[in-house]
Amino acid sequence: MDHLIKPEWFLPLHQGWLLLLTIASIGALIKGADWLVEGASGLAYRLGLPKVIVGATIVSLGTTSPECAVSVMAAWSGNAGLALGNAVGSIIADTALIFGLGCVLAQLPADRFVLNRQGWLQFGSAGLLAGICFASWWFHGDEAQLSRWSGMTLLGLLACYMVLSVRWARAHPRGEPFIVPEEIEGAAPVVPPPPEQARHKSCGGLIASCLAGLAVVVFSSHVLVCAVAALAIRWGVPQVVIAATLVAVGTSMPELVVGLTSIFKGAPELLVGNVIGADVLNVLFVVGASATARPLPIVERGAAVPEIFLWLHLPAMLVVLGIFRLYIFRAVREGHFRRWMGIPLLFLYGTYAIAQYALSRG
């Protein structure tokens, strides 16, 4: 991609054009992810795969594919701040912004089986990432980095997580992560039907949809990395800051769209499962693949606030997930999340976004 679209082409562009390219590439990322998910889920239905496996694996991987594509491309380009900031920022956006907004809009149900398993993996994977980063900084200082071995370890844990998800899904009588109301005893799991177009496409058409979606995701993610990197240089803002806000929210749009659509269609439980799964995959899949592609320096040398990733992004992630974990303790007893629970999360996200720019400019 660097030979087809050179990063230096973006440096002389006016910031207005760079912003337009950023917005257009984020839109293309979302559309490419839609094609990828549609083709993959359609193939699963055509090939007769269990529906619960489609929800537990293909859909979750599809909605995190923009984050993974952006972060891996950023890692290859040497933009560690963009790779790490995008992954951690997406976790904060998923939990504080998307879940918080969903909580305010509707009373979200709480499935004890799911939350007591995937919920702990959500918090544990984020804690593992923070522990690796702080340990590397403690022992190596300015030379701290996420090594390829760390990335491969996270990818290994990803494989274990996917296997566990499938096993737990089969063990859940209501087909995790999709819930059936308690009063309907013995009812079948509520799983979204395949996309309308997938019902009428042949296997060849669905494969073409997968390949087209993948190509669009890879192409647009490269353009997005180049445009954001140029903007970071133009504005004097560390790449990790822009990555954790503009890019992270933009690449989290699939989760946002899926979550809000599920609320309006009367299936709000999908938002909870999607947020938890996306958070786990952002650590194991996105950071793991990025660090495997190229070791990621944790400290941005020469940045205005070189330790902003360590002292703002990681703590903010842990605080948000800690609050979410406390919500889970109460929600599993009551059977649902309270609507007021979204307000502190939305406030935290706004504070986090403002604090980034204040620290980077100060």
pLDDT on residue 52: 41
Q: Are 350 and 97 in contact (CB under 8 A)?
A: no
pLDDT on residue 68: 79
Report the first-to-last Cα separation within the chain, whole angstroms: 35
Cα–Cα dist 147/130, whole Å: 14
- State the amino acid at position 178 in one-letter form: F
Q: Are 290 and 152 in contact (CB under 8 A)?
A: no
CATH number of 10-184+192-361: 1.20.1420.30
Cα Rg, the chain, nearest whole Å: 20
- DSSP bridge pairs for 336: 109
DSSP 144: -
Element (H, E) at 3: none
Q: Tell me the HSE value of 354 on the side-chain side, using a 13 A CA sphere.
A: 6
Q: Tell me the HSE value of 213 on the side-chain side, using a 13 A CA sphere.
A: 22
- State the amino acid at position 69 in one-letter form: A
Q: Residue 112, Cα to own-chain centre: how many angstroms?
A: 23
- State the amino acid at position 213 in one-letter form: G
Cα–Cα dist 215/205, whole Å: 15
Would you call 131 exposed, middle or buried from its count of C-beta atoms within 10 A (0-12, 13-18, 19+)?
exposed
pLDDT on residue 294: 86
Cα–Cα dist 300/33, whole Å: 30
Strands 145-146 and 296-297: antiparallel
Kindly give the confidence (pLDDT) of every residue in the chain, 362 residues in length, as a single tens digit, with 9 standing for 90 and above: 555 677 678 878 888 888 898 888 888 877 877 777 677 667 666 765 544 455 445 666 766 777 777 788 877 777 777 778 888 888 999 899 999 999 999 888 887 777 888 889 999 999 999 999 999 888 887 778 888 999 999 999 999 988 887 777 666 654 434 444 444 344 444 444 554 555 567 778 877 887 887 788 778 877 887 787 788 778 777 766 766 666 666 667 677 766 776 777 666 777 787 788 889 998 999 999 989 988 888 875 544 334 778 888 899 999 999 999 999 999 888 888 999 999 999 999 999 888 877 776 65
pLDDT on residue 51: 47
Cα–Cα dist 58/302, whole Å: 40
pLDDT on residue 48: 58
Cα–Cα dist 87/65, whole Å: 11
- DSSP bridge pairs for 145: 297
Cα–Cα dist 58/325, whole Å: 25
H-type alpha helices, the chain: 15-46, 51-53, 59-63, 65-76, 80-92, 100-105, 112-115, 118-140, 148-171, 196-200, 203-235, 239-242, 248-251, 253-264, 269-281, 288-293, 308, 314-334, 342-361
- Measured at the CA of 134, the angle between CA 129 and CA 137, to 5 degrees, comes to 130
